[in-house]
Amino acid sequence: MAEPQPKPYVPLTCHGHSRPVPHLSFSPLENEDYYMISACKDGNPMLRDGQTGDWIGTFLGHKGAVWQARLSPDAATAATASADFTAKVWDTHTGELLYILQHDHIVRAIAYPFDNSAMLATGGFEKKLRIFDLQEQKPVSSPASANPGVVTPVTIETSKAFEIGEGTHTEPIKFIVWAKDPNVIITASGSTLRWFDLPSRSCVREIRLDGEIKSCELVYLADAFSSPSDIGGGLPVLAVAAGKTAYFWGGNRADDELKEMTLPHGIASVALDLKGRKVVVGEEPGTWARVYSWDGAREIDVHKGHHGPIWSIAFSPDGNLYATGSEDGTIKMWKNCEGFYGLWRGTAE
């Protein structure tokens, strides 16, 4: 008996960027709502409605390509990492710039802790992992007699940050992941994945993978949608792409080896459907997203539509859709559930 074929839902396409999209991510779920933020080499990160992809606003102020963008755990702020030697923190409600984190070289990676919106980790071509405490200084609003409501951003020099694992990295830091355990940070640099212990500021584990790391993200579902039967047992899972292999780690410290999945093609990006037990990868070279079963690594679907490599894939916090960001400057959103959801009202003809 033939296996049922996946329903051919038409993806939603989000336009607006004029250059490649190297990274996108979703906010946590709050009252059934969530947001998506995208980094772009045009220097203009964008905030969108997570379910529909509708544009909400653009954060204006970077003078170079934006490599990564993330939303804080409370979704009140957004952090961006740029080639203009800064990371910036923005108010997601007003779009105002709150903090300028000054660096001495290109900033490639940025991450918030799992449940703390006042801390931020950065890394990049300086080959240094730093932690900034945003509570030490706070932006000040102008008095009502001058320019009411105008916020003066705070500039924080790198000397004010805490460096973790001094001298450890020998190549630029491309990704940073803060584990569920707030004392553990993971970095991707070259082909090496490293785990750092924050109290001791030292590297406690180091693994060299099958080629340069192209994607490194923590995948998790909102508590209301998570269960012990999910991949990872209800805890976040670290998903990493390097060479032709996708690697997965679980547990509070994201250091329990769950699976390695070697595919017949290179992998530019990877994401994981924890509940549906599926792995979505951006092939390299190529422009397609391929979907494989977690159990058996069998190809079950192919998504066509992008006209450039897919550099970033992220699942929504309810798992009902995932988004892909591409070299072609577009973001596509793919339905991952039955029935109506967001703007989807049926299947393709």
pLDDT of 87 higher than 60:
yes
Among 8-22, 133-147, 194-208, 326-340, the minimum mean pLDDT is found in 133-147
**Is 344 inside a domain boundary?**
no
Distance CA 60, CA 20 (A): 17
Domain assignment present for 345:
no
Quick one: tokens of 338? 């039955």
Taking 60 as the threshold, does the pLDDT of residue 337 lie above it?
A: yes
**Residue 347 included in any domain:** no
Token digits for 292? 């494989």
As a whole number of angstroms, the distance between CA 293 and CA 297 comes to 5
Comparing CA positions, the residue from 100, 71, 97, 67 lying closest to residue 86 is 100
User: What pLDDT, on a 0 to 100 scale, did the predictor assign at position 205?
Assistant: 97
Q: Can you tell me the mean pLDDT for 101-116?
A: 97
Residue 348, in any domain of the structure: no
Looking up residue 169, the CATH number of its domain turns out to be 2.130.10.10
Contact 25, 47 (CB under 8 A): no
Determine the average pLDDT of the residues in 171-188: 97
Residue 137, pLDDT score = 83
pLDDT above 70 covers what percent of the chain? Answer: 94
CA-to-CA distance for 8 and 334, rounded, in angstroms? 10
Does residue 8 have a pLDDT over 60?
Answer: no
Range of the domain at 83: 12-335
Question: Does any domain span residue 19?
Answer: yes
Residue 1: inside a domain:
no
Task: Give 296-340 as a DSSP string.
Answer: T--EEEEE---SS-EEEEEE-TTSSEEEEEETTS-EEEEE-SSS-
Residue 215 lies in a domain: yes
- pLDDT 10s digits, 116-167: 999 999 999 999 999 999 998 888 775 544 455 678 999 999 999 999 999 9
- The verdict on residue 235 lying in a domain is yes
Distance in angstroms (rounded) separating the CA atoms of residues 315 and 217: 11
The DSSP annotation for 63-75 comes to: SS-EEEEEE-TTS
Among 91-95, 136-140, 175-179, which stretch is predicted with the lowest mean pLDDT? Answer: 136-140
Structurally, the chain folds into a number of domains equal to: 1
Would the pLDDT of 3 be above 50?
Answer: no
Question: What pLDDT is recorded for position 345?
Answer: 75
The answer to whether the beta carbons of residues 164 and 186 sit under 8 Å apart is: no
pLDDT tens-digit profile of 211-253?
Answer: 999 999 999 999 999 999 999 999 999 999 999 999 999 999 9
Of the candidates 200, 184, 190, 219, the one whose C-alpha atom is nearest the C-alpha of residue 316 is 219
| Nearest CA among 83, 38, 78 for reference residue 65 | 83
What single letter denotes the amino acid at residue 60? L
For residue 77, pLDDT beyond 80 = yes
Determine the Cα–Cα distance for residues 3 and 299; give it in Å rounded to an integer.
Answer: 12
Q: Which pLDDT band holds residue 346 (cuts at 50, 70, 90)?
A: low
